[in-house]
A = this chain, B = another copy of it.
Amino acid sequence: MARIVQKFGGTSLADIERVKDAAQLVKREVGADNQVLVIVSAMAGITDRLVNHASEISTLHDAREYDVVVSTGEQLTAGLFALALQNLGIAARSWLAWQIPIHTDGVHGKARIETIDSVGLEHSLAAGEVVVVAGFQGLGPDNRVTTLGRGGSDTTAVALAAALDAERCDIFTDVDGIYTSDPRIVEKARKLEKITYEEMLEMASVGAKILQTRAVEMAMKNGVRLQVLSSFSGEPGTLVIDEDEIVEQELVSGIAYSRDEAKITLTQVADRPGVAAGIFGPLADASINVDMIVQNVSADQKTTDLTFTVTKADLERAVATLEERRGDLGYADLVADAGVVKVSVIGVGMRSHAGVALRMFQTLAEKGINIQVISTSEIKVSVLIAEEYAELALRALHGAYDLDVD
């Protein structure tokens, strides 16, 4: 007997029929004599509707009341899912975060899980019940409802898998696994059987938004074996696991991209200590995340050009923040460009192999694609290029690293 966590996302629960279909997938595991914890998201579209209701009411956002409103979506699905299981003759009960409880910090709207009391759930499992947990929600230190932020049900699933020492955490979604690249663009992309946590993190953070980043981090930290799979196909998906579990490691696992970046260049910034802090401090204060940063060596040794990226959503605010401080910062020009895309080559194998970055630069050069910014990590090389070359770059790189399906 194994203990399995099964998490169903909104598209897997889009309507009553799909809820019933999902219940069949749980029944299969119960039939294989497994203990099952189910974590449910809100039905597709519900959270958006709830958010709209709140926005229509008020331009103010008391995040505590906002959490009361949006958390109803997962509560609804938890009750319905338990009924669907009972209808299949399976003992089941729903659990809301405050009933378990799942204790979080008090940061409403994007709370972090602190502790989970597993006693009640262990009793329920021992009594032969399927445990159905409303994802995304938590109990704050002041006894109020918190939510974990978009995609937070993934985090709930991983946290429960860790707390209850589950053998595997299946994340059911509308894709059948993690691909070497976006199949809508790269026709020859293929599904990966396995991927490491580190690679998955890089894939997620550059735009392959299948799993919430925090959920992957938590899985990595706690050694929770994840599986991303489709609730529609019923086929095995992609395992997200520790590097040690993957015997034959590929050099490169995938080519990811993000259209969510925008580039800002400040020209003729004084080249002296403290200038970077003067620029990035105010952006951090405004909660604007900066991603890639490049500082050119200056010809005159006195000024330099500084280029960095922010999300497209933050671009306007970032520009306003910097222009307000133009006097202090003393740059000549501010050039903003939203017409860029970040393309990344990802693979834990590159740690022990030189030449991965070089092959990327050569491949792009052969296609006449200009690289605007480069940033690298241990297992990733990212470049910023003009948006119109995105598809060309992805396909060329996919072929260059021998990822194309036969």
Question: Chain A residues in contact with chain B, CB under 8 A?
Answer: 16, 19-20, 50, 53-54, 56-60, 62, 64-69, 71-72, 75-76, 78-80, 82-84, 86-87, 93-94, 96, 98-99, 143-145
- Within the complex, what minimum Cβ distance (angstroms) separates A117 from chain B? 12
A68 touches B75 (CB 8 A): yes
- Within the complex, what minimum Cβ distance (angstroms) separates A66 from chain B? 7
Task: Report chain B residues within 8 Å CB of A16.
Answer: 53, 56-57
B53 touches A65 (CB 8 A): no
Given contacts A72-B75, A75-B68, contact A57 B96 (CB under 8 A): no
Task: Report chain B residues within 8 Å CB of A99.
Answer: 143-144
Given contacts A65-B94, A93-B64, A143-B99, contact A58 B84 (CB under 8 A): yes
Given contacts A20-B57, A76-B53, contact A83 B65 (CB under 8 A): yes
Task: Report chain B residues within 8 Å CB of A94.
Answer: 65, 68
For A145, the closest partner residue in chain B by CB is B96
A interface secondary structure, majority: helix
Given contacts A56-B16, A76-B53, contact A83 B66 (CB under 8 A): yes
Task: Report chain B residues within 8 Å CB of A68.
Answer: 75, 78-79, 82, 94, 96
Task: Report chain B residues within 8 Å CB of A80.
Answer: 53-54, 57, 65, 69
- Within the complex, what minimum Cβ distance (angstroms) separates A91 from chain B? 10
Task: Report chain B residues within 8 Å CB of A143.
Answer: 99
Task: Please list the 4 inter-chain residue pairs (A to B) with the smallest Cβ-Cβ separation, ordered nearest first.
Answer: A68-B79, A69-B79, A58-B87, A72-B72
CB < 8 Å neighbour of A79 from B54, B82, B84: B54
For A134, the closest partner residue in chain B by CB is B68
Task: Report chain B residues within 8 Å CB of A20.
Answer: 57
Task: Report chain B residues within 8 Å CB of A60.
Answer: 83, 86-87
Task: Report chain B residues within 8 Å CB of A67.
Answer: 79
- Within the complex, what minimum Cβ distance (angstroms) separates A100 from chain B? 10
